[in-house]
Amino acid sequence: MELAIGIILGCCALGAGIAMIAGIGPGIGEGNAVAKACEAIGRQPESSGKVTTTMLMGCAVAETTGLYALVIAILLIFVAPGRFVDIMLKAVGK
């Protein structure tokens, strides 16, 4: 029984860690966005306000996939273990 619970907890933690690999994508994407924004401001310093606003909007939208992963990781760490252990105990009949 302890082994089964241990496997559940360990796999939840592993899953959370693997889910956060998705953080790579938004990192690269936002880096690109900011780099291009810097180039644009360097070329046209007078339009810096508009470029910054648009860049922040784009960053927020690009962040979405990373945040999906974050929510899944948070659920796996804080919610899923209890739920899974309950299901297992019910299945065993204790």
Partner 1 sequence: MNDNNTVELAKGKPEMKQPTGGFKFADFLLVLMMLLPIAAGITLKVLFATPTKGIEIKGPMIYCTFELPVQPLPITEAQVNSWLVMISITGFALFLTHGIRARVYTKRQFIAEWIVEKAEGLVKTNMGEYFAGFSPFIAAMLALSAFSSLMSLAGLFPPTSDLNVVTGWAILTFILITAYRMKCGPLTYLKTFGDPAPAMAPLNIISELATPVSMSFRHYGNILSGSVISVLVAAGLGGLSELIFGSFAETFPVLRVGLPAVLSIYFDVFSGVLQAYIFAMLTMLYTAGAFPADEFFKRHPDKAPKTTAEA
Nearer to partner 1, 74 or 87 (CB): 74
Report the alpha-carbon distance of residue 19 to residue 71 in Å, rounded: 9
Nearer to partner 1, 7 or 60 (CB): 60
Nearer to partner 1, 18 or 57 (CB): 57
CB of 53 to partner 1, least distance (A): 9
Nearer to partner 1, 24 or 71 (CB): 71
CB of 93 to partner 1, least distance (A): 28
Residues in the site for partner 1, rule: CB under 8 A? Answer: 56-57, 60, 63-64, 67-68, 70-71, 74, 78
Helix (H), strand (E), coil (C) string for 20-72: HHHHHHHHHHHHHHHHHHHHHHHHCHHHHHHHHHHHHHHHHHHCHHHHHHHHH
CB of 63 to partner 1, least distance (A): 7
